[in-house]
Amino acid sequence: MSIAVRSHRTQRRVGHQVRIWAGVIVCLLFLFPVLWMVMTSFKLPKDIFTVPPTIFFTPTIETYTSYLQYADVPQRMLNTVIVAFGASIVSIVAGAMAGYALARIRIKGAATLGVLILASRGVPPIALAVPMFLVARNLGLADTHIVLILAYCSFLIPYVMWLLRGFFVALPKELEEAAQLDGCSRMGAFFRIIVPISLPGIVSALIFSVILAWEELLFALVLTNNFATTIPVAVAGIAGDTVNGANWGALAAVGTLTVIPVVLFALLVQKWLIRGMAEGATKG
C-alpha cells in the first residue's frame, strides 16, 4: 500500500472522528439548558442561586407537588393536548388538500394564490390576535377550545400546505392516472393512492404542527382567560408573578412537565419523522 493511499485513509478517518465529536458537542450545547432546567426543578430554593452553582444536592419533589395544584397544571396540560392535536389534525386535512390542489390541479393564478397564503405567515401574530378576540367575544366563543384551534390553524395551514406540496409534486402523475383509469375519482385517487404514499411527509408535518401549537403563547394569552388556558400561559404567569416574584424552582418544574410530553411524542414517532425529513430533502 502506497504512502499516499495510507495518508488519504488517515485523513478520512480523522475527518470522520472530527465530524462525530463536533456533532456530540453541538448536541451537548443544545441539551445543557434542558438538563439545567430539570436539575433546578429538583433543587430547594436555597440551592438554586448558590455561587458557585451546586451540582450535587439532595433532590426533592416538593416543588412539583406544591405547584401541580397551585398552577392547575393537569387541567392546563389537558387543554394544551386538546388544542395542539385538534389544530394539527384540522391543519393536516386542510393543508394536505390545499397542497395537493396547488401541486396537481391546473388553476389560473395558483402560484399567486400559493404565495399569498404563504405571505400570510409574515403577518405579525399580534395584528391577528386582537381582531380574533373581538370576533370570538361577539360570537360568545371566547375562552373556548374551538376558538384557539381555529386561531392556531391560521398559521399552521400555510406551513403544512407548502411542506406537503413538495411531496405531492415529486410523486409521478402516472399513479393517479392509473387509479382514475380503474374508476377512481380525483378525490378517490388522492385518499387511496396519494395519502398512503405521502404518509411519512404527512406524519412529519403533523409532528411539527403539534410542536408549534404546543409552545404557542400569544393567541392563548389573548383568546383565553381560565377555562381553555394552556400550559405556556401557566409558565408565563409563574414567570411574571408581580406579587411574589418569579419562582424559579416552580418555573423549572412546570417547564419540565411541559417538555416531557413533546419529547415522548417525538421519540414515539421518530421513525416517521426521520423518514419524512429525508424524503422531503430529496423530493422537495
DSSP 46-113: HHHT-SSPPSS-----HHHHHHHHHTTHHHHHHHHHHHHHHHHHHHHHHHHHHHHHHHHS--TTHHHH
Residue 283: per-residue pLDDT:
52
Cα–Cα distance for residue pair 242/71, rounded to 1 Å: 15
Q: Pick the residue with more confidence: 34 or 1? A: 34
Q: Could you give the maximum distance between any two Cα atoms of the chain, in Å?
A: 82
- Residue 190 φ/ψ region, left for φ over 0, alpha for ψ in the -120 to 50 degree band, beta for the rest: alpha
* For residue 278, pLDDT beyond 80: no
Cα–Cα distance for residue pair 28/39, rounded to 1 Å: 15
Residue 125: per-residue pLDDT:
83
Residue 111: pLDDT band by 50, 70, 90 thresholds?
confident
Nearest to 168 by CA among 105, 111, 103: 103
Residue 22: pLDDT band by 50, 70, 90 thresholds?
very high
Residue with cell 406551513: 159
- Of 50-59, 142-151, 160-169, 229-238, the range with the highest mean pLDDT is 142-151
pTM of the shown model? 0.79
Contact 220, 230 (CB under 8 A): yes
Cα–Cα distance for residue pair 19/31, rounded to 1 Å: 18
Average pLDDT along the chain: 84
Residue 280: pLDDT band by 50, 70, 90 thresholds?
low
Query: Out of 3-12, 165-174, 250-259, 272-281, which region has the weakest mean confidence (pLDDT)?
Result: 272-281
Residue 284: pLDDT band by 50, 70, 90 thresholds?
very low
